[in-house]
Amino acid sequence: MPELKFVVLTSQRSGSSWFMDVLNNMEGVRGYGELFLPPSHKQGKSGAALMSPQAAQYINETAYAHPRFGHWQEGRGGIRPFTPFTYLNQLYRQPGGVGFKLMYSQLYRYPEVWLYLTARRLPVIHLIRQNFLDIVISTKRLQLTRTAHRIVGENDATNQSPIYLEPDALIRRLRWLQRNVNLARRLLRWFRIPHIEVIYESLSAEPDNFKRVWAFLGLEANGQLIQSNYVKLIRASHVDLIENYTEIKTVLADTEFAELID
C-alpha cells in the first residue's frame, strides 16, 4: 500500500474533481476535495452550487469524508499557523496514500499551508487546464445554472443555451488565470518542492498519460481502469456555447489566447 502524502494544486473549474475521483478509485489512495473551503460554503447557501441529493451524497462520502478545516476548527480555538499545521498532521496520519485538493485562492487565504508544504517537502501534483477559455465558460455556466457537478446516472437538466462573454472582461480574466499558473510554477521551482505538472486535457483524452501520475505517487496500476463517477457537464463546441462567438474569436485573434477558441 502506498504511503505517499501529497497535494493537488490547481484552480477552480480545472477538472480537479474528476481527477481526484480517479485517484480515489485507485487501490490504497484517498484523494480529498477542497479541505480549506470556508465553513460558509454549504450546499443550498446563497451563491453556492446546488446539486442533486445523489451527487451531494457521493461527494460527501468521497471528497469530504474527512472534515474540512473550517468545520474541524470550530470550537477548538487555537491560533494560526498552528491550527492548520495540527489539522494537516492529523490528516496525513491516515494510512496509505493521502492527498487533498488545494486551490490557488485557498493558498492565498492560508499562506501557512505553503509553509507546511515546504517544511514537509510534500510532493505536489500541479494540475492545469490549459484552455483558460473553457475555465471561463465553465465558471459562467456555474454562475447561471448553479450546477457544479453531475454524476453517472443523473439526468442532465442544466440549461445549455449559449452564453454571452464580454470581450474586455474575458481578456482580463484569461490573463489573470495565466498569471496564477505562472506564479504557482515559480513558487514550486523557487522552493524546490518535489512536483509534477499534469494537463487536464491530456489526461482526459488519453488515460495512458496517468502513468506519470502513478510513477510520481509510487503506485502500481496493475491494470486498474481510469474511472470516475463524474460526468462532463459541457460537451458542445465553442461556436455553440458562446452567444457572441464571432466577436470573441476576432478579439482573441490579436492576443496570445488565439488558439484557445475552436
Which CATH number do you get for residue 185? Answer: 3.40.50
Q: What is the DSSP string of 46-63?
A: TTSPB--HHHHHHHHHHT
User: How do residues 117-160 score in pLDDT, each as one tens digit?
Assistant: 999 999 999 999 999 999 999 999 887 877 666 677 666 655 57
Using an 8 Å Cβ cutoff, are 97 and 134 in contact?
no
The answer to whether position 172 is within a domain reads: no
- 69 φ, ψ to 5°? -55, -45
Q: How many domains does the chain have?
A: 1
The residue-averaged pLDDT of 10-28 equals 91
| 3-state SS class at 74 | coil
Please check the confidence at residue 1 and state whether its pLDDT lies above 70: no
Low-confidence winner among 62-76, 127-141, 162-176, 183-197 (lowest mean pLDDT):
62-76
pLDDT at 63: 86
* Bigger pLDDT: 161 vs 247: 247
pLDDT at 61: 85
* Bigger pLDDT: 52 vs 46: 52
The answer to whether position 244 is within a domain reads: no
The answer to whether position 144 is within a domain reads: no
Phi-psi category of residue 58: left, alpha or beta, with phi > 0 → left and psi -120 to 50 → alpha = alpha
- 63 φ, ψ to 5°? -65, -30
Please check the confidence at residue 243 and state whether its pLDDT lies above 50: yes
pLDDT at 48: 47
The answer to whether position 142 is within a domain reads: no
User: How do residues 204-240 score in pLDDT, each as one tens digit?
Assistant: 999 899 999 999 998 887 777 788 888 787 778 999 9
The answer to whether position 15 is within a domain reads: yes
Using an 8 Å Cβ cutoff, are 147 and 233 in contact?
yes
Whole domain around residue 228: which residue ranges?
5-131+150-155+180-233
Q: How confident is the model at residue 47 (pLDDT cuts 50, 70, 90)?
A: very low
The answer to whether position 249 is within a domain reads: no
What's the chain's average pLDDT? 88
The answer to whether position 261 is within a domain reads: no
pLDDT at 158: 59
What pTM value is reported for the model? 0.91
